[in-house]
Structure 1
Amino acid sequence: MSTFIYFLCLSLLTSVSKSMIDYTSLYLSPAILFPDYQNMLISFKIYIYTPPNALSFSSPTESNFFACLQTSPFVTQNPEEAHLYFVPFSSNLSSRSVGRLIRELRMEFPYWDRTLGADHFYVSCAGLGYGSDRNLVELKKNSVQISCFPAHEGRFVPHKDITLPPLANIARASHAPGNRTAKYLGFVRYNGIKESNLVNELRSDPDFLIESEPSNGTTLVGRLGSSVFCLFEHGADVSGIGEALRFGCVPVVVMDRPMQDLPLMDVIRWQKIAIFVGSRGGVKEMKRVLDSTCKDEGCAGRKRLGVVASQHFVWNDTPQPYDSFHMVMYQLWLRRHTIRYARSEFA
């Protein structure tokens, strides 16, 4: 790793004392990530097919991603030099219409049939299901789907698909509380969804703060900063994970199966910044896991690395180095290698 790239990486981490943490332990392959990221900035090219109609998306995250992509230097007007091809369609487009769109693309352009869509990607917050139409099958099976987090069950293909880091609900100008002593072991944020038996059981435990209604930004920042852990039940609202990381609250994701749709899974060692527990053991087992995690500075290390990781969960109006948009693009960059067949081989 060159000196320039090394210090460029560290410039993102100014809020954390350099003497307190091994930054590289956050990343799966730090020796590859930073130079490869620089190569991406120089080389990566995306061709965007022209949508037949004006696009509308079901979530601000989708809209933000597409807006950033359109104005990014990754876009090329020459499809012959593109590594990947973006298929734009509105969130409310029917499966039949999506299939028709793919059929039209393969008839008008030679690029789909070279890989059967493996060098194509699309954004769909809800994700696409499987269908019988050949074009939909190829799109779902081969193309990279970028969906919102958490992904809908059965509509996300691990190791191929990507989830978007969620938009933050707290203004970036907000600052984390100082080094205060944690008042609560755990904090459960209001999510507007019917609460589970686990959350109801936690209500009677004084070690946990259960938010009964949405709080304003200032109150929420205080609650995040005064809690060691922030509990998220997968399938409810996990969109606050980035904010928990930013304000030093270690995310605890409650789910009873392996988690395969976390944002930035190709980049970050999630086990270094979050804890994953099942719900079947109840509060007693959960507290045992949390208490054991805090031994030997385990919580402090996760908090520090979490603050570093939170830099990658920022969506900017104008994309900045290593922010959410660029890290999604980096995951696409990792998927750019596909086998392309000559037209005579599939004609």
Structure 2
Amino acid sequence: MMRTFKIWTYKEGDIPLMHNGPMKYIYSIEGDFIEEMERKGNPMVATHPDEAHAFFIPISITKIVYFLHTPAESIGFFERMQAIVEDYIGVIAQRYPYWNRSNGADHFFVSCHDWGPFVSRGNPKLFENFIRVLCNANSSEGFIPSRDVSMTEINTPVDNIPIMSNGQSPYNRSVLAFFAGGNHGVVRENLFQHWGNKEDNDIQVYSYLPKGKNYTELLGQSKYCLCPSGYEVASSRVTEAIYHGCVPVIIKDHYVLPYSDVLDWSQFSVQVPVNKIQDLKRILEEIPYSKYIEMQKRVIQVQRHFSVNIPAKPYDVLHMILHSVWLRRLNVLLRHVPN
């Protein structure tokens, strides 16, 4: 892929809504990807659009929300957001032949914001073939795995890129399962109802950590890290678990797991249906210890596929995203469009 796949990033549009994205906190992968695609020296960047196999639309939904959304303007904001993206597509479709020759099937954008999927709802015909790279990959809300790409949400610290840590040895992890986070959304409400603030040292579920407990240390001390949906299916909990050598427990309905074209998540994670939350402890305790050890070993092995590097390095998360786009681009048949 790295030797042959070429991507053209459109130059139209201005900062801050285009060619710029968040580099910190939970939507940071959006900005990291935009920066990588506009980085000089990137071997996958096409020098001319005619040599490109795919076309990147460098719009940041997070920046649109940040700069244009106010509580007073909530009514009608989705339509306004949709119009910005549609206007951009109208410009490039008029100036170049590439969108029209494939009806947008070799074009893609990247959005980690929860509202990213809503961009295409206002005009489904226009976006029928368009590749959406989304953190909020919910198949019940229109995400199509054969066309769209699921990518991981990564909570990047203010002063650095995320750091990997193997945590405690799998033989020394004293906590069976751990979660700390806001009690919002139906899934988390269910989780807190059954396991929140219980006198159970095996399943530790907190909305706020008790004094003296450290979030990062608990990730590294736990065998399993619970990754429930919040308001949406996207969450940085999965990557945080992987970064600390903790086997993720996916508690989400309709979530399309990232990079599942090439990663077999059953080998390094546990998936628990939302309606089985009350059985969580039994489910985890019934996993043979030998199987847990093998899954934890594979978590360490896949860490490199979730790591962030600027510039990107082979097999890291940015290349995993590009590989997913490349696989979907392979199915696109182009037709000649006269100038």
Matched, 1:303 2:296: yes
Q: 1:127 to 1:196 in 2, by over 3 A?
A: same
For the residue of structure 1 that corresponds to 2:225, the secondary structure is strand
The structure-2 alpha-carbon separation of the partners of 1:220 and 1:60, relative to structure 1 and needing over 3 Å to count, comes to: same
Q: Mark the CA change 1:341 to 1:78 in structure 2 (over 3 Å): closer, same or farther.
A: same
CA drift of 1:150 comes to 5.4
Alignment of 1:40-189 (within 5 A): 40-54=1-15, 55=18, 56-57=20-21, 59-71=27-39, 72-91=42-61, 92=64, 94-125=81-112, 126-129=115-118, 130-131=120-121, 133=123, 137-138=125-126, 140-149=127-136, 154-169=141-156, 171-172=162-163, 174=165, 176-189=167-180
RMSD: 2.7
Instruction: Using the TM superposition, give the Cα deviation of residue 277 of structure 1 relative to its aligned residue in structure 2, in angstroms.
Output: 1.2
Pick aligned residue for 1:279 from 268, 274, 284: 274
Query: 2:214 is matched with which residue?
Result: 219
Partner of 1:335: 328
What amino acid maps onto 1:290 in structure 2?
L
Q: Does 1:245 align with 2:213?
A: no
Work out whether residues 180 and 226 of structure 1, in 8 Å CA contact, stay in contact via their aligned partners in 2: no
Shift of 1:258: 4.0
* Residue in structure 2 matching 1:259, options 255, 259, 272: 255
Q: Structure 1 residues 64, 169: closer, same or farther in 2, change over 3 A? A: closer
Following superposition, the deviation at residue 166 of structure 1 comes to 2.5
Report Cα offsets for 1:258-286 as digits up to 9, x if no partner: 432x2212120011111111232342x22
Stretches of structure 2 that go unaligned for 5 or more consecutive residues are: 65-79
Q: Which whole-Å deviations, capped at 9, do the CAs of 1:30-65 have from their partners, x for residues lacking one?
A: xxxxxxxxxx11111111111222124463221111
Query: Could you list the per-position Cα deviations for residues 74-95 of structure 1 after superposition, in whole angstroms to 9, with x for gaps in the alignment?
Result: 1112111110011222422721
Q: Which amino acid aligns with 2:324?
A: Q
The one-letter amino acid of 1:281's match is: K
Looking at structure 1, the residues matched to 56 and 94 of structure 2 have their Cα atoms a distance apart, in angstroms, of: 16
1:323 aligns with one of 306, 316, 319: 316
Q: 1:115 to 1:101 in 2, by over 3 A?
A: same
How far did residue 181 of structure 1 move?
Answer: 2.7
**CA shift at 1:174, angstroms?**
4.8
Counting aligned pairs with the same residue, the percent is: 27
1:251 offset after TM fit, Å? 0.9
8 A Cα contact 2:227 2:235, kept in partner: yes
In 1, the alpha carbon distance for the partners of 2:85 and 2:180 equals 37
CA contact (8 A) 1:48 1:88 kept: yes
Q: Calculate the TM-score normalised by the size of structure 1.
A: 0.77
- Specify the SS of the correspondent of 1:280: helix
Q: CA deviation at 1:240?
A: 2.0
Shift of 1:149: 4.5
Deviation at 1:152, TM superposition (A): 9.0
In 2, Cα distance between equivalents of 1:90 and 1:168: 17
Using structure 2 for the length normalisation, give the TM-score.
0.79
User: For the Cα contact (< 8 Å) 2:140–2:254, is it kept in 1?
Assistant: no
